[in-house]
Structure formats: structure tokens, C-alpha cells
Structure 1
């Protein structure tokens, strides 16, 4: 596996698309082992496409694209402005609130960061905020998006690790609030020091608050309906993806009346591209994962970590640090696919809760989207705002420290993750 790992690292550093880097390096394992039939890589990729549990991923991607075409983003932006417009930091605080509200719509940190950069970036710069600060807020703020249901990372982790997706969905709410609080305090401290004014200076009327709530209510109810359907046994995780698509279409046609024939086709086209990219990584990763299991890499890694500590919190810190380091060069989706089979059995062996570990894992993996040298969300935001990478990196340090602190809080206070799933689904 050493040659496979080296090949993967070299291909990534050369700039090869992640899916091809995974597939090519994984195939090298079979080249090194002539005793293994070379038909296995083909069989693995085909069989992975037949995994019924993964059907939820394209369905939720399709639902998110439909929701974005309904005009719900503008409604949520108005609601976010009502919620946080009077706080120090103005549009920066609004962007954090919007990321939290958009979690139930897009489920993608990269998509959320790019969308907000186009919507709010110029406005933040016109209000005197530096490019580095604006890019840092818009990028790191999108860490909230994938941990509010229906995050794609949760579906991947739950499917690979055989963990309840319903409990994972429910577990995301409190961690999202913790992240929002720490990022909001970071924005507040910077805004106070630099004199960034609030977006709103007058008190809101009851009519304005009511109007904003009415406009965003359908997006706010979306994750509630998902959890209710799973808790009551009405849907399986795959079936609830189909419900999400129907819900998005009904909201777009009946509630907002903005999902027209043209926007419907645009959503389908965008979904084809998104689904193709994600599923291509998933099917080719099965080749890579086969070698990992056959060579007993999980046992070797677990043994190395246990040589350092056998305390479950200590092990989770070491794993989080490894994931943070790997996230500098590997996409979050790939990390979840490749590392879940390695680290989850170790945490389970030590008595750790798989839902608790899953939220920590997903947050740590998502941070890599915002850090050099290959952070996809970082590049999306910096290219839109024309922000130099060095400026972004320097001014993003406080946000990096905030999300790192949030990760440590989640590790040492598992109740913050488990309180909601235990209330809804009962203690495991």
C-alpha cells in the first residue's frame, strides 16, 4: 500500500482530478499483486453503483438544486438579515446566519461559499471590510452547511460505517450552533476592533419579522420534516431523499411559484453535473478501499494510535489532527470515504459513540475546504472576490482557530452532539 499512497499523493500534487487519482492509484495495488484477478476493479466499481443506500445522495442533491431555483435563497437572506443585521459585523454576521439557514437547502459547503461570495461579497467590500476578512467569513462560515440535515457527508459516513443516518441528521443541530457562536464572536471581536458597522441601525417592526419568517418557513421546516419522517418510520434514508425532491418541487411551484419549466431543466442539468462528480469519486474509491481492507490498514493504524493513548478522547484528538492535516491536500468527501473504514472501528473498540465521532469527523474533514493549498471553497471565494491567497490565509487564522476550538468542545462534551438524537430517537 505504500506505493499506492505515494502514487496518490503524487497525482494529487500534479493537479490530477481527485477521482482519477483515487482510481489510478487504487488500480496500482492490483498491478503489484498479480495473484488478484484484474477483473476485481471493474466488479468493485459496478457493484458500488448498486448500493441502494447511496441513492439518497443524488436525490438530496437534486432536491437542493430544486430548492435553490425556487427563490428561497433570497427569502433566507432576508430572514438572516432580520436575525443578525443589528450585530457588530453587519453583512459578515448575516452571512453566518445564512449559512446556518442554507444547511437544509444545499448541504454543500463549497456551493454555499460560492453562492454567498456572489451575493454578499461586493456588499461587504463596499462597507469597508477587507478582502481577506470577507473571504475568510464567507469561506469558513460555510462549515455550518454540511452538518445541518441533509448533509451529504452524513449520508456517506452513515452508509459506509453502518451508522443511523437519522441520528446523524439530528446530531448536527447543536454542533452547528456551537460553530455559529464561536464564528460570530470572532466576527464581533474583529468588527469592534476595526469599526465595521451593523447592517441595520433601527429596531425591526413586528411586521418585518413576521414577513421574514413567512418567507423562510418552508426552508426551516425542511429538516424538521426529514427528521419526523425518519423518527416515525415513514421513510428510510433513501426514500426520504425522494420525499425531499417532491417537497422541493411543491414548494417551488405552489409556495413561491418560481420553479418554471426553464428553471426545472436548469436544476436537472446542474444536478447531473453534481451527481456525476460525487458518484464518480465514490465508485472509484471502492478500488482504493479494497486494498486498504486487504492489507489490514485499519488494524495497523489503530495499533499505532493505541501505542500513543488508549483514551477515547485522546484518540479522537489524534484522529481530528490527522484529518485536519490530510484536509490540506485532500477533499472532504474523499476523506470521509477513505478514512471512515479505518478510524470508526477503532473508536467503536474504545467504546466511543459512532454518531459523536461522525460529527467530529465531518467537521474536521470539512475544514480542509477552507485551507491552502487545495481548499475548494477557499479558491471559489478568493476567485470571486479577487482576494490574494496570502491575504486570505493571514486573515483567516482567527476563523481557523474558532472552528478548531469548536471541534475540541465537541470532542470533550459528547452530550452537545448526542442530546438531540437521544431526545428524538432515544438513547442507543
Structure 2
């Protein structure tokens, strides 16, 4: 039997594709949610910039207001879905200071100011929930924050941006070049009019910072995440990769580094070759997946829709049920564990494999000259293949290395560019999952 607890007042900030779906689901499924929570959930209002703007969903007009501050001050739980840094940060701070719990899907804000806001929530005895900030409907924040909190996570590796995965998937499946695949993504609504945040890896870097902070219990600033985008990936690279048994994915990789008495964390985002047999290679279209390697739990994979209004709304409502139950139970919120003594390290500390494509002179002795550059800089070569470059007097060499330190590989590339035998270093791409 449902308790007689008073209605829990909800403030919704933003009525875009996600916000409108959250409002719709609250109104349609309110009775069922109330049974799960143990109290009615009352949507007090929806704060928007423009009362007359067209909405994705037909919602009662009397719910809308432009007075976000008054709405927040009269609420028990605030759901922030406006995005960006400001005014979102100020409004969340206001909500926490007023005694409300907060739910957000704001990845950029959590990557840039998450530790500050989480600390504020802890000081005030409130709770800040952000499951929807990474990978849409996929439950990954709570498993890292709670389920794996007693384990030692060694690596988190994932496809966390649906736009770039769609583009790379189309390039692989149809042979399209990058610009055509991007145009298709834009037409289908996967890519924004300005796709820079997606294709240059900024969106994925924000998510990597959040995942790394949770997985390794330390603060990982988004500025410390190494980042490369996919705009330089060519159809030829995609084809060459598939012929060799690989596919190209934009991966966010967060890993624990322990060497020579040093314990640290590296977070990076870049195009990556992964074997076609790896579970992440099967993630197609705009879907996301996160692969976790933990000491005791082993290998875990979380897969699903990484974006979309209803999908992300599902994660928001999951946080809402948790927040409402906590509100009824009472007591202070639980702080994230961010006390691990781990240094944030640059990408040069990473050890992985590399594929380097070179345009070289098509002359005797060139292969030996190239091989010596690798050997003299402590990078072991696994395979070398040669093909036509399409240019007279030139050939293409594709070199696959054994495991090598990133800093050693950087020296190799520098020396290759200085070599008379090498006309151009066409590409350097890391290899994971082997």
C-alpha cells in the first residue's frame, strides 16, 4: 500500500528533445512512478527561454515559465536539461543551495565542473545525479559509481559518441568518404549543423573525463584528456583496416598506468583500430558501447542507444526514481569517492600497438632505412606491407608495430619525417583490443 507521503515537487529546466520526453513520460506514467517511489511526483513547472517556441511534444501550456529561479526554489528535485555551462551551472548551484537534489544530463558541465558541483552537493547534504550525461540510455555511471566501487577497474574503453560511430560505420559499409558520410549523418539528424564537437572528439573527451573520474576515484580534468577527431580518416584507411582484419572506431580510453613505481591514469580519445572479432567492432550505426575491465569482475560490456530523446529520458527518470526514494528516506546524500592517490598522466605514458602508413621512395634499401629508424628508437616492427602509392617513383609502406611506448613512437615519427627515404608520414593510428 502506498504511503501518505506528500507529493514530491519537480522542477524541469529545458524542454528540448530530452526535456519534452521527460515531461511527457512524467505526465503519462505518473501513477506507476508514484507506486515505485512511494509518493506522488508532481511536475511543478518547466522553465524555458521562449514560451512560444515549438515543442517536440504537446505539453500543457500552463506548465511553462521563464522564471527558472522561482520554480527551483519551490521544488524538492530539479532536473536540468538545458545543456551548456551557463546558466546551467548557476541554476544547479541555486538548486543545491536551496536543499533540492539535482538530476542532470549535462556532460559538458559535469566534465568541466563536476567535482566542484559534487563537492557542493556533499557539503549541503544533497545529491547530484548524472546517469544521462554519458552514453544516453546505457546505464554506466551507476555501475562505476556503485556496483564496481569495491573492485579495481583497470580500463574503460568505449564508443561514446553516436555521430562519429555512424560516420565511420557508413564509411566501412558503403565505401563512402568522410564528407559524404558526414552529410548523411546531418540529413538524418545525427550530426549538428556545426559538427565540430562530435567529429573532433570534444564530446567524447568530456565523457572520457567523467568516466575516468568515476572509474579511478580521482578528479580527471577534461583538459587532461588527449584528443584526436576523425576528420582526417580516409576511405582508403577504412578499406586497408578491414583487409587486415580491423575496423576504425573513435574510442574513449581511460586506463590505469602502473610502471616503475608510478601509479597514474591516462584518458584519451582518438581513432583506433580494433579487431573485427572484438565486441566493440560489432557496434554499428549511432549506437554506443562501453567496455570495462576490472580486476575481480573481469570484462563487462554495456551497449545501447547513446542518444535520442526517449532513450536519454529513460536514464533521467531512473535517476529521478532514485532521487525521490532518497528524498522520502531522508538523510544526507552520498558523496562520490575521489580520494585515490593517482596522478593524471599524459598520453606519452601509454603502451599500445601502432599502424603507421608511409609514402616512401620506391628504391632499393628504403625498407632497411625505415626499419632502422624503428629499431634505433626501441619500437619493434611486427609486419610491413608494401603497395602502390599511385605516384611514380613512390610506394606505400604500412607498418604494424608490437607493443610500444607512445613516447618512443613519437620519436620514431619525428625521425621518419626527417629521413630522406620517407616522402610523407600519411597516418599514425593506435591499435587496441589485440
Q: What band does the TM-score fall into relative to the shorter chain?
A: under 0.3
Question: If each structure's strand is expressed as a fraction of its own residues, which one has the higher value?
Answer: 2
Larger radius of gyration: 2
Looking at secondary structure, tell me which structure has more helix per residue. Answer: 1
| Greater RCO (Cα-Cα under 8 Å, separation 6 or more) | 1
Please, what TM-score do these two structures have when normalized by structure 2? Answer: 0.25
